[in-house]
Structure 1
């Protein structure tokens, strides 16, 4: 199986969901073999003109299916809904392949 990476850009629009999100989301993520590589507000844009999000998060997954299973896990879904309601979030799932080489 090919590893995959979730790359998220998250800018909170309300503070109500954050404290209740991190612990449960991390617990469910670990169940699917996910591993945080970065969760930080310490980043800068080197190219382009888009808005800079407050947080960038990178998660390593053992497979695409593991990431999809995490996203649809009934234990995670309420936390996902709270995050997407209380933030501007963008989430890309990237396959660890080199299609150009």
Structure 2
């Protein structure tokens, strides 16, 4: 079953970004993930609140692939740098329609 990571990321420092992109790209691909969107070009159509600087959507072939990516020993220090250098929210969404 397909899963989607949906992230909201607002960097509080840029110190981690240059060292993050390359390893994250490679590891996402290694676990079968595909970036569908990584952009600061977005707008709120509904609701209120602060908006994140970046919106990121990754398609995964399975829940296990997403979890294994997050727990990969090579990724863990980059995840730590991102979470310490940003305000981040990460949602893992199962690709199904429970209301159909």
TM range (shorter): over 0.9
The C-alpha deviation readout for 1:45-101, integer Å capped at 9, x for no partner, is 000002110000000000000000000000100000000000000000000000001
Residue correspondence of structure 1 range 1-101 to structure 2 within 5 A: 2-101=1-100
How far apart are 1:3 and its partner, in Å? 0.1
Q: Distance in 2 between matches of 1:100 and 1:11?
A: 32
**3-state SS of paired residue (1:22):** helix
SS in structure 1 at match of 2:56: strand
CA distance in 2, matches of 1:77, 1:29: 13
Structure 2 runs not aligned, ≥5 long: none
**Structure 1: 5+ residue stretches without partners:** none
Q: What TM-score, normalized to structure 1?
A: 0.98
- TM-score, structure 2 as length reference: 0.99
Taking the aligned partners of 2:26 and 2:3, their CA distance within structure 1 comes to 19
How many angstroms does 1:29 deviate by? 1.0
